[in-house]
Amino acid sequence: MNLADPKPAGDLSTEFFGLKIPFLAHLGVVPEYAEGGKSRISLVVRPEFENSFQIAHGGVVMTLLDFAMGAAARSTTNQPLGAMTIDMSVSFLRPSVGNIAVEGTVLKAGKTVNYCEAVVLNEAGEVTAKASGTFMLRK
């Protein structure tokens, strides 16, 4: 890659459930759905996303979990401006490699604060990581 003229992995014009998020577009994240307190996104783990063990870097996994929970939180209401992470806890259960999907769910929705969880699934449908988080809907 030429650092003077970096080529993004994804189409930077991609919308993520009504929001432009250049970082997710750069990674090549595919938005699948966000409705009724649930969301799903997917990503192909490429070599540049891997750590020294040739598995998805924890930062990439955490980014996906964070966004999936925030998207689920936004889907509970007509919230055009996004959701801000208040806190987040992550557990890594097994390596995330290949094609992964991330599913977010709202556990409890409030007027401005939502409690959520998300899981990363590998191609076999096994949970590779999970997270819980608290999100404030931006007004």
| Residues in Cβ contact with 84 at an 8 Å cutoff, skipping those fewer than 6 apart | 70, 135, 136, 138
Q: Classify domain 15-137 at the CATH topology level.
A: Thiol Ester Dehydrase; Chain A (3.10.129)
pTM > 0.85: yes or no: yes
Per-residue pLDDT of 87-98, as tens digits, reads 999 999 999 999
Per-residue pLDDT of 14-73, as tens digits, reads 889 988 999 999 999 999 999 999 999 999 999 999 999 999 999 999 999 999 999 999
- Residue ranges per domain, the chain? 15-137
Which DSSP symbol is given to 124? T
Quick check: 13 and 26 in contact, CB under 8 A? no
